[in-house]
Structure 1
Amino acid sequence: MARSDRKGLGALLTDRAFWLGLISIGLGLVVFALLFNFAAMPIWTRHDAAVEVPDVGEMTPDDAQSVLRVAGLEGEYAEQPYNPNVEADVVVDQSPSAGTTVKPGRRIYYYVNVSPKQLVVVPDVVSLSEGKAREDVSDRGLVVDRVEMDSVRTPYENTVTRQSPANGSSVPVGTRITLWISPGVENGRNVRVPNVVGSSVSDARRQIKDAELWVDSPRAESGEVTRQEPAAGGTLNPGQEVRIYTDGDA
């Protein structure tokens, strides 16, 4: 074979090898891309994986953490202000809520009603001035959070008419208290004094309140009303006081 023919054949073989190699590389890249997209990526991202969030309500924090871990989820503990109306030291809420579908490894927050370290009794500040009520509340380690104007009238302006939480409640130190205060007596209008003699103390208080009048009489706690001042049938301005007495009064 002539030297020129051998050179041509060598160039042809070289070109074929080049193109075959290039085609092989291209096919390899296509195969790699397909495998990565349909095999590796779903495994890596767990695109099709889903976990139903378990209900950890009323569990202890440790039990809730264990249940979430078994479900392939990450639990995060959080305290919430103590609520004496529900069980203490258990989960009372969670986010996302139970039954929600999430990806594995999702962080689930669970909130625990933690027992307070110290409880105090809410003082009775009804009938006190706002200033004295604030002082008594503060002395118990509590905080007056809000003061609202009430529609209930009393003989003196800014007298406390209601409170929340109620007096006698056991609450954590630092609990916020809401007070309602009176706008005072309404002048220019009269209401009739009801007859509450012979009624129970609780019923007498209700009748006087319904008549738009005020009753304090802290010594009249229970039993039957034996006397009232002023007498029934007279008139007073809304917010003025009717005093009641029982046989047990000193």
Structure 2
Amino acid sequence: MHFRTSDFRDTMGKDKQTDSFLKKAISNTYVRNIAAMVLIAIVLTGITLFFINKYTRHDQAIEVPDLKGLQIEDAAAMIAAKNLRYEIVDSLFQKDGVPGAILEQIPSGKSNVKHGRTIYLTVQARNEPLVAIPDLEDASLRQAETLLNALGIYQINIVSVPSEFQDLVYGVEYKGTPLKGGQKIPKGSTVTLKVGNGNGSDTSLDSLHTEESETFTE
């Protein structure tokens, strides 16, 4: 195969033109600035992706322990061992519950979470909550029952007392002790309402109120 001198000269000429174009492009301020900006953008993107991946720990996950039924002290040790945190967000009272035991958790047990995640806990209240009894004297039986039910008191004993006014409340008692409006008793307690029977005069109730007042004062 033979090369002509003219072909060789054309090739050399094209190479010189290419070199000349590259030299001009490199020496051009605008081209150099654009190239520098592109290079900086690539470097910044790489750094950002690196730190995002490190911060979010895409390749790492922790299984949340099942904490239901445990005491806070025991659960706290398990949570710390997993590099997690916890926060008690609510406390509830269940009649047959164990005081201080964990009732609910978010996220649930065996869920996969990231390092440092906070586990939100609901625990069993150690003491039964108290409610303030409203002033029920001279209220109707229906009204008194509605008010008590709204407070979580459903166990209500009715004791009839002589009165010309049927279903009129003359007093409320807790464990045999008369209560006045504003006094507090455990939620869910059993109370007794003294209610007029409508069959007789209520003049005898004056002494009844006096006795109740004296009993409470003592």
Give me the TM-score of the superposition, normalised by structure 2: 0.45
Larger Rg: 2
Q: What TM-score do you get using the length of structure 1 for normalisation?
A: 0.40
Tell me: higher relative CO, structure 1 or 2? Use CA pairs within 8 A at least 6 residues apart. 2
More helix by share: 2
